[in-house]
Structure 1
């Protein structure tokens, strides 16, 4: 074996070794502290940009957040940890000089070494002197250093082919308290004799030897972090007689002596004069070498096959996507001028809006606290737009009935968005998006609420005063409701009416002039029959609220909107890229379908997942992705069923979904320019598809003209006794959605030319929908029977049969083969961006 055979790994090891060597030399520490330097080096390397991942930060790719650089300190420097938890007397010193040995992997604290006792402490509260290195003041002990090198050479002696360092000039220590072990010394005895010995060939301590939890020669292993208090804790108490005063070296020295200033805290045993055999480490090496020679297999490298990653010739300064970390509090934000400016802008907006007035603190009043929240705002392509700071009230400290009464949040339904955009695309109406600045600050409060002055902006003339709120603030329980009431009151004065089907939809009609306004908290979509009307409404809104006109609709709620002559294309590509990066699957292999057609998930199969919170977070992210990806509805519905007790097979399905969307980043929902004068639905059910409860799965998809506007995949609440019953329940759900859409369209002043057609591939269900005769087998679904038949009798709905090969809703109820899945996906208006070559606005 030679290093070029595994060049990539050897290059990484070289980088790590250089960092270890640099840390030790700078701190004047002996090589016995290589383990601590290794842990610190890898900690730092994982938090800096790497060319192997396109100048990204490995820590950021793994945790989906930038690392915190505020805790970085100089390795080996002088430090003073807080010892208050370890002192027994109130007059005892609260700290002492220690040596900083890096960062704890299992605790939020720093590793601090007491040189005199070799005890390692982990503390969160440490004061550092980064210009002083305690080991630099310790006298050099050449003989102990040579003894240390000899101990390491024993651990890694590979074979006779490797040139070994010569120790013929080594002079043993004059302190001899025990006889030198002979050639038959066991591995355990050798390990105890050399506390710094580790077997690098086997990657673990020598076989049969106990794991020494103390620092080898003053250096502790990271595995010793297990027992620690919340503030400060010792890793291991040393034996009383384990430390001796270093004696000066006598006799000749070897050329291997390092210029480090160091000491070696030895046990009472002396150094061996010679070692006649390399013990188990070399035996393992020889056995592996002999086995390779017997098999005759040769190693095939990437350079031989030509599978080489292109060299990324970038530098850290050339990257443009590295942004400053998001501060966790106001004090941290002061270090960055961008965040300081963001907080100043937010405070100015609060003052200009007359959000509060300062009053003396009433006795016994519940004063709500608050905090600064910081966030980066990005463009649709992922580039940084601005730094956003917001003063948020801790609403959880409010008392119901005193500080607030009712709550409500103005959120428009996804189906309403699809319907409005379909109408605008069909009629070639202009579509604008607006963003209300500090929307919740516009709401008027009816309750009396006191809260503290914002951090960093306390009035020096009245530092003990509190704020009596006159307007709502972010974080208050009633803030969304107060903002909605204020906005709805004003928009009605402009002639808009609030929709009964969706309270976040407002409709304006004056003769042939029509306008639709969608409100999603503080984001607005406005479309009108003419550009003149649209600009007139925008100007009126500007006169009342501080808002930004973002121009033509292009990025709304994380959805990228592209307009072309063929209509609108809705995509969440950047959202998918961020989701894959967050899940650590940016480089995964894609798959053709999100669900395996041959398998069903069970609630009892497999072992529980190690991190249920991460599972639920990924499922929530996938749910939001279904806004533009209807073909994912069934797959996401399946993983949603096991949120209470996720298991490994359920997590495997999430990974399969992510692999599917990795290969379909370019597709999205297309809303064409076809007429919107008809409503068509497809309904299907998978009878007794659940292996645990044998409940059925209902699915439907509803088209307005040729545009898909609503879809669903849902587990039925009861067990169906026949496939006809399951299909009929699915038809009832689809018709309920169609009735709601018909009501919505009437409020939008859209006239449908015919009854809504609902297609079902079950003959019995179609027969029951039209036949007024009751049967015994339909008594238990009598409510659904009456509901469907009533709509059929009124002429609003027609239920027709359709062959299963054309039942598009089949994709909402079960996994499908690749060819059928691809065909049905295309029928659901999910396709490539038609404006990718034609351009959009």
Structure 2
């Protein structure tokens, strides 16, 4: 793809964008646009305004004349005479650029980005209008419940014909847009352990889980760009430690022994165990085992959780034991708590 062509309806501001390999394809795309508008929406094209590009001369002008379409052309070097389309073109390019930068996607994905930007822009009310271009053009209100963040991570379920008996059932992909004339999403395969699905290929599916705060391409870019900086900072820090002898700061005040009276006693108690192994192998192992058993029995009696199968593409949360001692007033151990 080397170019794109924008067709916008003047009153509704609804626009179509076609990706072109060369400008010679402009005629074919216009014929497709004209046919779809007439058959699906029962609308007629009366006037077409364009600049003086070479793709708009014969046979393009002949097609307009044969179908009774008035072809208006702007004056030379006067893009302001077609200001609505020029401004829409600029808006789409700015959206495309922002989407590529914020997601970390490569520039060769500009076509998918500009198609998604067009898809969204048609569903946003424009200035001085409370309705969207989609509603004015299609005659019905758009739905927003299926919109996703462009460039985010998505775990796409492998299609049944390509499922392997042993191996993951999902593929890590990047969301890149919405399928044309379909309810499916478009994805770029980011990482695949399935031999039937290759990396950097595009697939369409509706069965996917989205992680709209994770951008795999952006993380990769930041990691590669930050590595040299981290190494430089680490080297400088090591040199500083080697060349300078760091001495701890000590207070110059004279320490004075304090006494709180005979009612205050001090007890030396072993530190509380930090792991399960430390607890059961310590001198208080039997007491900790009994406390663990009581805690598990309490959880089962109160139905704190229920066992379910892990959903595909999800990771379970980790946990750890926390051991605490309850002390009496005389400093002795009352019981162990989990």
- TM-score, structure 1 normalization: 0.16
The structure with the larger Rg is 1
